[in-house]
Amino acid sequence: MKQNLKIFFTGFALFLIVPIEKALAIAVCPVCTVAVGAGVGLSRWIGIDDMISGVWIGGLTVTVIIWLLNWLKKKKIEFSFKNPTVISLTYLLLILPLYWADIMGAPFNQFCGVDKLLLGILTGSLIFWLAIKLHYKLKKKNNNKSYFPFQKVVIPVLSLVILSLIFYIITKCA
């Protein structure tokens, strides 16, 4: 199991390093962002497991990164390693305060030796990013038209809902 987690985290690190020029062309709609933000607030409010809260925080973080990269492009702000820098700083600015506030890093709040909130954030980020890419791939395949209304919102949010359900089942069985 630890070997699988090492492979996952290595893949996530590569996700941070790989250039994401297409991210600049991808706009995440405000409705999707509100839905993700509502998911974070709701899950924390009703006491849902940190792994599930992390999924929604991860999705929200990807949205913020894409918006920030688009804003930098619009303002014509360019610098070396812009994408990896923005991605890394965004995650650091998210994770470090959570760690310093003792919300993250508690030894009793781990799954397979990894903090539940951190695991949720990383997997939620990856799944949300892949769902956004899936939407655009499907749209391109269909002559730049969505297959159904609100596809741009439904696919990413549904991906987080499914991952949340998977984590819910895992945490209830563990």
Q: Does the pLDDT of residue 25 top 60, yes or no?
A: no
**Which has more pLDDT, 32 or 20?**
32
Asked whether residue 11 carries a pLDDT value surpassing 90, the answer given is: no
> Per residue in 148-174, is it b (16+ CB within 10 Å) or e — as a string?
eeebbbbbbbebbeebbeebeeeeeee
Q: Is the pLDDT of residue 6 over 60?
A: no
pLDDT at 20: 47
DSSP state of 114: E
Q: What is the CA radius of gyration of the chain?
A: 16
Q: Where are the domains of the chain?
A: 43-173
* Token digits of residue 160: 């987080």
Distance CA 55, CA 118 (A): 9
Look up residue 25 and give its two tokens: 């062309």
What is each CA distance from 136 to 16, 34, 51, 82, 145, in whole angstroms? 20, 20, 28, 23, 9
Could you report the per-residue pLDDT of 35-66, keeping only the tens digit for each?
Answer: 655 666 676 678 788 899 899 889 989 999 99
DSSP run (H or E) holding 169: helix 151-173
- pTM for the structure as a whole: 0.76
pLDDT tens, 106-161?
888 889 899 998 999 999 999 999 999 999 999 999 999 999 999 999 999 999 99
Cα distances (Å, whole numbers) of residue 133 to 6, 41, 43, 57, 140: 24, 25, 26, 19, 11
Per-residue pLDDT at 105 exceeds 80? yes
